[in-house]
Amino acid sequence: MLLETLDVFLTLNGSWARTAEALHLHVNTVHYRIQPVEMLTGRDLARLDHKLDLKAALLCR
């Protein structure tokens, strides 16, 4: 669930609203799913370089 949310979030260029729409979720739910990803990875998804790092990791899996 977290990986799917992260993948969609990054694919949609970090758009909270478009991610929520694509996953049929409320925007707050997307925030609640992304928050543990940031905590577990030590990345801040407000930063472009951190988004790129996580996108690269997802592409390598």
With beta carbons less than 8 A apart as the criterion, state whether 3 and 58 touch. Answer: yes
Distance of alpha carbon 24 from the chain centroid: 15
Cβ-in-10-Å burial (0-12, 13-18, 19+) of 33 comes to: buried
Domain map (residue ranges) of the chain: 2-60
Q: Provide the 10 A C-beta neighbour count for residue 8.
A: 19
pLDDT 10s digits, 10-31: 999 999 999 999 999 999 999 9
- The CATH class given to the 2-60 domain equals mainly alpha
The phi, psi pair for 42, rounded to 5°, reads 75, 20
pLDDT, the chain, mean: 96
Q: What is the pTM of this model?
A: 0.92
